[in-house]
Structure 1
């Protein structure tokens, strides 16, 4: 009698599937791919509520796009294979992200999981998939926080998880190049919290700043929510900071930016990751949002098209605005492209009943999506890859209150520069 395989005292679904497949093969009932009657189950974890909810504003639109484009089925080797997407809310909480990922794996028995939006989502979900031997594809987290927050070894990597987005080196290079376009004393104020992004930035960036001749004023790690940033603002003023490099979500940036105005702290350039990528998060500031800078992961000017709908980046953004009544923002391209990646992999998998076969297909992805080329063999770490990343600045808009213009293309040379960075005005 075959024992039920276990991992760490838990039911090992991967081992069960392999054992079951072997048993079927022995009886002559095995099929070369997925049985037509079974539906592929895709788990999806996103922060739909909480401070990171801006990252999920495109999810419903993209899910509707997928349904319209595919009818809920994938054409695999001439057969119509149905798929189902099980969406779960992480509530912007890493513990909750881990819980719902576990439920999707153990209770819903999904075949794979996709997730996005900061280390607070992608790290716990990826870890849960790694533990249970379930293929996982994630994006929208800088690669270093994603990898090192999980204890990753660059020489080994992970077996069951794939990730694509910009790297910290790309982001820092782009932002510092934009900082360099304006005249300043090169004194940077850091707003790096006690979380995956903040800790990674605090470890990696000071040596880089020093090597490029930038000074650093760092008030230290802090837990969020933080009721007041007055102490940080006071330190920045005392240190004559003229450039802000932060990574805090919209509620935190609102507190900081309002207290900066109260203390008449007027830096020449400000970057706040997790906030400045979203026009809806910046609109409440009115003219005080004009001039904020950001790395640009994706925009309508990107010269790529979807492998699912055939839409160019601009056509995708235009459709989103027409359907939702909201302005496009960067995560739209990544919400769409993650389905390009997994659908491509599922179509190439040799055996859809074998998680290892699906994982192998993901590992060998070589696909140009609406966000750009995705090839997990290119690194910088095993089963990861970087995507083109430009730099931009928010300016007074025409159709919407704010428009984003491209100011740097250091790591996205195919994206055209539209103007030079201008210092903030007060």
Structure 2
């Protein structure tokens, strides 16, 4: 268990008071009276480099926004705290993510945050759980987080310290059914899921429901991440006359698959190419050139979401516009997703009876019910303990009509009707 910290203000006060007394003055600077009662350390781990770097590309910018908002610290239960965010790059390596989490734990973080994909989140969550450190995460299917870490359906949660919010297979299913119904197809869907936490969780959760909804599912089997030749999958999809493809690859794998699909003629029979985990960011699609427009996606955040950040006060448009102004690059959905994690994390700290008590922070997360820039986070009524579900909104990449090569448009909103639909779904092979 974590021992109580000595307040940093004690040392600071002593260092300041000695020279004041030595100068023969009994007057005390006003700043002494405003000394911090303590320090809150927040650990933050994300993939800033490596094959998952597109997820972490905007994190430095978001952390800057958070640090600006926290520059004056936080007042909690009548006490004032300085706030440090200790951010680390997992380099898209699960082993490194786990090691970084242990290092931050040894440095005494009060709250651990991790964002984007099982390769980052799950090892950080496991390290935090083992060390009894409160942890919060987002941006991966919650089933891959919950069951992928050893929880069993129908059994009590094995997790006491780690919590996750965001979309799950149920949201994907609702969104895909809503999106695919926008076009007439033969309802033959080819699924291409990798042999990883995301792929295995999605295969188990989605494929049976696709079949129940009247779709014929063609599954050539799990492939290994890093595969460079998808000829066998492409041949199977062509022979089976699939008109919908659903896949959850990392960006380099999808680029290889879809280029080979074009070379071998599969793209000419596909009406909907529905991607997740990749296709989330402009660079993922731009790299495909003429093959990119009309790829369907799903947004866990969009700048048109009608919510504001509880930490910075920014709405989606303000956040996206500031990013584009400062970076010169197109906004991405990770902006709001990462900020929503910081929104939820800082809100939990505010509600804790003692932000330096791991038990108090954990209990505040467990009862958290708040609204972030990404929408509602509610751990009091999740589908399973330790989980708060979130929306995933049907979207599509289309040729840009303004300053960007591509526009990211909303085509359906079944999982959050507050999000406005802005564009009809376009058929890929037309």
Regarding TM over 0.5, the answer is: yes
Counterpart Cα distance in 2 of 1:51 and 1:244: 23
Q: Which residue of 2 aligns with 1:401?
A: 405
Q: Which residue of 2 aligns with 1:177?
A: 178
Could you list the per-position Cα deviations for residues 67-112 of structure 1 after superposition, in whole angstroms to 9, with x for gaps in the alignment? 2222162222444311211112212122221111111112x12112
C-alpha change, 1:72 and 1:138, in structure 2 (3 Å) is: farther
Shift of 1:256: 0.3
Counterpart Cα distance in 1 of 2:371 and 2:37: 31
Q: Is the 8 A contact 1:175 1:294 kept in 2?
A: no
Could you list the per-position Cα deviations for residues 23-58 of structure 1 after superposition, in whole angstroms to 9, with x for gaps in the alignment? xxxxxxxxxxxx946422111111111111101011
Is residue 413 from structure 1 mapped to residue 417 from structure 2 by the alignment?
Answer: yes
Q: Which residue of 1 aligns with 2:74?
A: 74
Shift of 1:286: 2.5
1:381 alignment partner, one of 384, 390, 394? 384
Counterpart Cα distance in 2 of 1:88 and 1:72: 23
Q: Which residue of 2 aligns with 1:92?
A: 92
Q: Is the 8 A contact 2:70 2:83 kept in 1?
A: no
- Runs of 4+ in structure 1 over 6 Å off: none
Counterpart Cα distance in 1 of 2:176 and 2:293: 17
Is residue 320 from structure 1 mapped to residue 323 from structure 2 by the alignment?
Answer: yes
Shift of 1:309: 2.1
SS of aligned partner of 1:392: strand
Counterpart Cα distance in 2 of 1:374 and 1:131: 25
Counterpart Cα distance in 2 of 1:80 and 1:350: 13
SS of aligned partner of 1:163: strand
Q: Which residue of 2 aligns with 1:29?
A: none
Could you list the per-position Cα deviations for residues 324-364 of structure 1 after superposition, in whole angstroms to 9, with x for gaps in the alignment? 11111111111111111111111121123321001111111
Shift of 1:59: 0.9
Counterpart Cα distance in 1 of 2:379 and 2:326: 33
Counterpart Cα distance in 2 of 1:223 and 1:99: 24
Matches within 5 A, 1:276-291: 276-291=279-294
With normalisation by structure 2, the TM-score equals 0.89
Q: Is the 8 A contact 1:345 1:361 kept in 2?
A: yes
Could you list the per-position Cα deviations for residues 154-213 of structure 1 after superposition, in whole angstroms to 9, with x for gaps in the alignment? 542221011111111111220232112111111111110110011111212221111011
Q: Which residue of 2 aligns with 1:293?
A: 296
Is residue 338 from structure 1 mapped to residue 341 from structure 2 by the alignment?
Answer: yes
User: Which range moved further: 130-139 or 286-295?
Assistant: 286-295
Could you list the per-position Cα deviations for residues 383-408 of structure 1 after superposition, in whole angstroms to 9, with x for gaps in the alignment? 21112332111111122111111111
SS of aligned partner of 1:42: strand
Is residue 358 from structure 1 mapped to residue 361 from structure 2 by the alignment?
Answer: yes
Counterpart Cα distance in 2 of 1:37 and 1:308: 21
Q: Which residue of 2 aligns with 1:30?
A: none
CA RMSD of aligned residues (A): 1.7
SS of aligned partner of 2:288: helix
Counterpart Cα distance in 2 of 1:205 and 1:362: 29
Larger Rg: 2
SS of aligned partner of 2:237: helix
User: Which range moved further: 35-44 or 364-373?
Assistant: 35-44
Matches within 5 A, 1:7-18: 14=1, 16-17=2-3
Q: Any gaps of 5 or more consecutive residues in structure 1?
A: 1-13, 22-34
Counterpart Cα distance in 2 of 1:355 and 1:367: 20
SS of aligned partner of 1:411: coil
Matches within 5 A, 1:39-118: 39-71=39-71, 73-106=73-106, 108-118=107-117
Q: Which residue of 1 aligns with 2:15?
A: none
